[in-house]
Amino acid sequence: MNTSTRLRGVFSPVTTPFAADLGPDAPRLVRHCRWLLSQDVGLAVFGTNSEANSMSVGEKKALLDALIEAGVPGHRMMPGTGACALTDSVELTRHAVRHGAGGVLMLPPFYYKGVSDDGLFASYAEVIERVADPRLRIYLYHIPQVSNVPISLALIARLLKAYPGVIAGIKDSSGDWENTKAMLERFQPEGFDVFAGSESFLLANMRGGGVGCITATGNVNPGAISRLYGTWQEPDADAQQKALDAVRGIFQRFPMIPALKAALAHYSGDAGYAAVRPPLVALSPQQHTELLAALQAHGFSMPGWDGGR
């Protein structure tokens, strides 16, 4: 298996801007993606923090078309394509592969709870067989606190055996380092690439043999996070990790998605980046004031981010 073209490094579930009518705002998304790429951060568009599950498959396909048309390179993308409905997962995955996506990040079907590994295996297998494209690279998405459908080590072993090369890795968003460690020890040596679910575990993941992280705060603090990825063997790595944790800690005091969007809007001077789609709600005026005050007190900035204008 050729791993030289595998996705590695820092990715961000790019927040999705919405227009006044709550429709996806492709031009603003393109500008945000360009800035992230300029900071060496890859594009995990349609992740949890992208409000991806609040958009239809058609809306996501159109956004992907717009990104590609704008010249955003497919091989720097890892679109989220897992849905409740088998046919939705197939349609969006196929579209991503045709656009040259470097990989796809695939949630298990997440409506039915307590489903068996047999059923989850069948779900992934059906998508793989139907997409039937040798370019397909699937990163499993383990985020049990949101999906309520965990991806077990036994399921990974089974998928890897049945679809080596296609099953390319995982994003472990469980926040459970013991789980990430078990994946690193058991599967990373087989070429199954482990991404930490946030930069909180970036240094530990790299030291354990992992390949990077996919993180919400990559939307707003991309340069510093990608610097740690590039220099994790340097003497100041622990200090860098501590600095990243401090910034993340500020955002974590607020609902994450609206807080990220509020920062993107404030630091660009373009309020159009702030809108969220129901069921999420924007920060309250008080939360907004508190967030910006905390960021200012910390000396936070977003170098080079002007909203793309």
Find where tokens 């679910």 sit: 197
Name which of 46 and 139 has its Cβ closer to a second copy: 46
Contacting residues for 137 by C-beta, under 8 A, at least 6 apart: 6, 7, 102, 103, 104, 165, 166, 168
Please say whether the beta carbons of 86 and 109 come within 8 A.
Answer: yes
Contact with a second copy (CB under 8 A): which of 5, 38, 148, 301?
148
| CB 175 to a second copy: min, Å | 14
Contact with a second copy (CB under 8 A): which of 8, 34, 40, 54?
54
The amino acid that residue 156 corresponds to is I
**Residue (of 73, 28, 74) closest to 50 by Cα position:** 28
First to last CA, the chain: 42
Contact with a second copy (CB under 8 A): which of 2, 4, 116, 233?
116
Q: Does 182 bind a second copy (CB under 8 A)?
A: no
Q: Does 204 bind a second copy (CB under 8 A)?
A: no
Contacting residues for 65 by C-beta, under 8 A, at least 6 apart: 99
**Rounded-to-integer distance, Cα 192 and Cα 164, Å:** 9
116-149 burial, b if ≥16 CB within 10 A, otherwise e? ebeebeebbeebbeebeeeebbbbbbbbbeebeb
**Residue (of 287, 282, 279, 286) closest to 271 by Cα position:** 282
- Both structure tokens of 84: 């409740």
Q: Does 296 bind a second copy (CB under 8 A)?
A: no
Residue from 15, 16, 48, 217 carrying the catalytic annotation: 48
Q: Does 57 bind a second copy (CB under 8 A)?
A: yes
Contact with a second copy (CB under 8 A): which of 62, 115, 237, 243?
115
Sign, CA torsion 102/88/192/51 = positive
| CB 132 to a second copy: min, Å | 14
Q: Does 53 bind a second copy (CB under 8 A)?
A: yes
- Both structure tokens of 98: 């045709």
Q: Does 119 bind a second copy (CB under 8 A)?
A: yes
Contact with a second copy (CB under 8 A): which of 1, 5, 19, 22?
22
| CB 257 to a second copy: min, Å | 8
Q: Does 59 bind a second copy (CB under 8 A)?
A: yes
Interface with a second copy (CB under 8 A), residue total 39
Binding string, 65-104, against a second copy, x = CB under 8 A?
A: -------------------xxxxx--x-------------
Q: Does 279 bind a second copy (CB under 8 A)?
A: yes
Using CB under 8 A, list all residues that contact a second copy.
Answer: 22, 48, 53-59, 84-88, 91, 108-113, 115-116, 118-120, 122-123, 126, 145-149, 277-281
Q: Which residues are catalytic?
A: 48, 111, 141, 171
